[in-house]
Amino acid sequence: MSGTSLDGIDAALAAFNTHQPRLLAKHYLPFDSKLRDTLLALHQPSHNELHLAQLAGNQLAQLYAQSIPPLLSQAGITATQVNAIGCHGQTIRHCPEQGYTLQIGNAALLAELTGIAVVSDFRSRDVAAGGQGAPLVPAFHDKVMRHPTRHRVIVNIGGISNLTNLPPQADTSGFDCGPGNLLMDAWCRRHLGKAYDDNGNWAASGQVRPALLNHMLAEPFFDMPPPKSSGRDLFNMTWLQSLLNGDERPEDVQATLLELTGQCIAQAIQQYCAGASEVYLCGGGAHNQTLSSRLTNLLPGCTVQNSDALGIDSNYLEATAFAWLAQQTLLGQPANLPLVTGAKHPCVLGAIHPA
């Protein structure tokens, strides 16, 4: 999995021969700054972008392939014992309202490099069926994190934040809430030269600007009913700059961005997950202690914990989910939730590239 945060690759080796998936090995491979800048630039139209996207896809395939041997070594197995690689690819455009979503990564090359079958392009079939193509991970949350009597909400805080609502004795729902880490990370990189705000300490040093926050929350996306999804096509530095006067202290903007993330998650839970008592965080933002504390304050009726409390590694939950999605593809089983994505019907997702 390499997501909207554009920080690197989360690789997980998972087994699904028991009720709960077993994480056999894990590995993180960071992107270098040049690749990150290339991927970021591909989110906007540019000269020769098709050629550049294909080259970046090839480079990603090489990096995805590099992440496999450490997993095999940790687990003490060979490539022939792996059924498939589930590769999400890197999203560079997400426009379901126009009938497409685009993830690059050259799955054919990845299969060639690793000798392992690759399942990729998970989102396109859902979009073809009238869905958003995202979020897809709620189907995995439904499979492994549901409780028969406790109302749980799973919140993934990656570049974008999304939630999965798991009410007991009722259908699973979910949607993108809004920005997760991507705006905070971009602002931190611009002003501190750091990839992210460690534990939200810089945000904690600033003060929330109420007028700026209200301008942010006026974005129409927040008032749209689910199903809905988003990405860098909407929430980016151009969007942020359009809301700034230019006289704000950088740490105050960071504090306001953190509050935005907290507010859009909390408001989504309060509006669409009534009665929830347990909130579990995963993704990189789950380790932002300032954000976690703020969510605890914003959600007084809920316990807020990392998914590690359920025995599921919060850093590798999404990568494990795409391994499960690949398994569903191989089994010919639907893996989207129409109530989540808005698709007309359940679909078998993904394209298979044999070894």
> Which segments of 222-337 does DSSP mark as H helices, in order?
237-241, 250-272, 289-298, 317-331
User: In the CATH hierarchy, which fold is given to the domain comprising 146-310?
Assistant: Nucleotidyltransferase; domain 5 (3.30.420)
Q: What is the pLDDT of residue 136?
A: 96
Tell me the per-residue pLDDT of 214-245, one tens digit each, with 9 for 90 and over.
999 999 999 999 999 999 999 999 999 999 99
Tell me the per-residue pLDDT of 181-203, one tens digit each, with 9 for 90 and over.
999 999 999 999 999 999 999 99
The pair of structure tokens assigned to 200 is 């939200």
Q: Tokens 């993704």 appear where?
A: 283
Q: Tokens 């600007």 appear where?
A: 209
Q: Considering the domain 8-133+316-353, what is its CATH architecture?
A: 2-Layer Sandwich (3.30)
Contacts for 328-335: CB closer than 8 Å, 24+ residues apart: 329/84, 329/86, 329/119, 329/122, 330/83, 330/84, 330/117, 330/119, 335/122, 335/136, 335/139
Alpha-carbon 8 to chain mean position: 12
Q: What is the DSSP letter of 225?
A: P
The pair of structure tokens assigned to 43 is 């989110």
Q: What is the pLDDT of residue 183?
A: 97
CA distance 250 to 339: 40
Tell me the per-residue pLDDT of 49-78, one tens digit each, with 9 for 90 and over.
999 999 999 999 999 999 999 999 999 999
At 167, is the pLDDT very low, low, confident or very high (cuts 50, 70, 90)? very high
Q: What is the pLDDT of residue 19?
A: 77
The candidate with the shortest Cα–Cα distance to 285, out of 155, 158, 189, is: 158
Amino acid occupying residue 138: P
Amino acid occupying residue 32: D
Cβ-count burial 272-284 (b if 16+ within 10 Å, e if not): bbeebebbbbbbb
Q: What is the pLDDT of residue 50?
A: 95
* Domain residue ranges in the chain: 8-133+316-353, 146-310
User: In percent, how much of the chain has pLDDT > 70?
Assistant: 100
Contacts with 130 (C-beta within 8 Å, 6 or more apart), sequence order: 342, 343, 344
Judged on CB neighbours under 10 Å (0-12, 13-18, 19+), 247 is exposed
CA distance 183 to 232: 9
Alpha-carbon 191 to chain mean position: 25
Going by their DSSP bridges, the two strands 160-166 and 152-157 should be labelled as: antiparallel
Using CA atoms, how far residue 315 sits from 77, 141, 322, in Å, is 23, 14, 13
**8-133+316-353 and 146-310 have identical folds:** yes
Q: Are 60 and 2 in contact (CB under 8 A)?
A: yes
